[in-house]
A = this chain, B = another copy of it.
Amino acid sequence: MENIKVGIAGYGNVGRGVEKAVNAAPDMELSAFFTRRDPSALQTNTPSAKILRADDAASMQGELDVVILCGGSATDLPIQGPAFAKLFNTIDSFDTHAKIPDYYAAMNAAAKDTLSIISVGWDPGLFSIMRQLSLAALPCGSVYTFWGRGVSQGHSDAIRRIEGVANAIQYTVPIEEAVQAVREGKNPTLSTREKHLRECYVVAKEGADKARIEREIKEMPNYFADYDTTVTFISEEELQKNHSKMPHGGMVIRSGSTGENKHVMEFSLKLESNPEFTASVLTAYARAAVRLHREGKRGAMTVLDVPMSYLTPEDPAWQRQNLL
C-alpha cells in the first residue's frame, strides 16, 4: 500500500477533522501542520507531526505528498491557495461559488509542477458531481439543490454582529412542500422564499431590546430579508446544550424525461458534523491528487475531473469485483 505524507494548513474545525481522517487512513501519514499562530502554542492530537509556521512552508518542499488547506474562502484561500500550490500538491474547499472560475485560474497558474484539486467538500464537491452526473443522464430536465436542515456559519456570524446579541446560531431548513413537488417531477418554479426557511436561536445580552434585534435580523439584506425567518430567544445554557453540534446536509434532485417517460434522481446527505464530513471528503481527494500527480498530471482540477477509482486505497480490480 502507498504511504502518502500529508500536511494540514489551518487547525480549526475542518483541520481537526482532517487530522482524524488522515490518522484513520491505512495509506496515509500525517507529517506536518502549518499554522499562522505561534507553533509552540498549537496543541494537536498527532505528536509525531511537525508544527511549522505557514510562512516556513517552503522548508518542507519535497517532504510532503500533499497539503490539505483548511482555511476559509473569504480571506484565507485566495492568498494561501496559490502560495501553497507553488510548493505542494493541494486540496481545498473553496466554496464561494461565484468566484470559482477566478480561483481556478489563479490555482492553475500557481500549480506549475504540482496538482491542486479545488472546491472539494460536499457543496461544492459531492453535490457538484451529482449535478453533472444527473445532467448527463437526464439532459432534458431540471435540477434543484436544497440545503439543510443545518447550521450556516455565515448566517450565525451575521446575527452575532448585531448590537445586543451575545450568541446565536442559524439553521437553514428546506421547505418540505417544495422538496416534495420536485421529487414528484413537477418542475416547479421556486423563489428563494419558497425553497428555504431560516431558524435563528439567539442569546440576548442582559437588558437588550429583543424586538429590535428580531427586526434587525429579519430585515438584514441578502442574509434574511428574502426568507421567512423565525427568531427564538434562548439562554446561553440552552444554546450550549441543544445547539452546539454542527449538523448539515441537503439534497440534489434532478427530474427529467426521455420521450414520454419521467425519471427522478436524488442524492441526499444527513450529516451530524459538517466540518468532519467535509474533512473526510478532502482526505479522499488528497489521495487522488497524489496519484494523479504521480501519473504526470499538473495544474488545477475540480472533483469533476477526478475518476472515482482514485479516491479509495483499494485497487481497481478490487473495486470492479466488489463495488461495480
Interface residues of A (CB under 8 A from B): 17, 20-21, 24-25, 97, 100-101, 104, 119, 124, 126, 128-133, 135-140, 245, 258-259, 261-273, 276-277, 279-281, 284, 302-309, 311-312, 316-317, 319-321, 323-324
In the complex, which residues of chain B have a beta carbon less than 8 angstroms from the beta carbon of A139? 24-25, 280, 312
CB-contact partner of A324 in B100, B262, B263, B312, under 8 A: B100
How many identical chains are in the complex? 2
CB-contact partner of A304 in B129, B277, B307, under 8 A: B307
* Contact status of A308 and B317, CB under 8 A, knowing A124-B324, A259-B20, A323-B128: no
Do A302 and B320 touch across chains, with their CB atoms under 8 A apart? yes
In the complex, which residues of chain B have a beta carbon less than 8 angstroms from the beta carbon of A266? 266-269
CB-contact partner of A258 in B130, B140, B277, B316, under 8 A: B277
In the complex, which residues of chain B have a beta carbon less than 8 angstroms from the beta carbon of A307? 304-307
A to B CB contacts below 8 Å, 25 in the list = A21-B258, A24-B140, A97-B324, A101-B317, A104-B320, A119-B324, A126-B133, A128-B323, A132-B323, A133-B308, A135-B312, A137-B280, A258-B273, A261-B272, A261-B277, A263-B269, A263-B272, A264-B269, A265-B269, A266-B267, A268-B268, A304-B307, A304-B308, A305-B307, A307-B307
In the complex, which residues of chain B have a beta carbon less than 8 angstroms from the beta carbon of A21? 258
Other contacts beyond A100-B324, A132-B308: 15, CB < 8 A: A20-B258, A24-B139, A24-B140, A101-B320, A104-B320, A126-B265, A129-B308, A136-B284, A259-B276, A261-B272, A262-B272, A263-B270, A263-B273, A303-B324, A305-B309
In the complex, which residues of chain B have a beta carbon less than 8 angstroms from the beta carbon of A279? 258
* Contact status of A136 and B308, CB under 8 A, knowing A258-B279, A277-B263: yes
Distance between Cα atoms of A272 and B261 in the complex (Å): 5
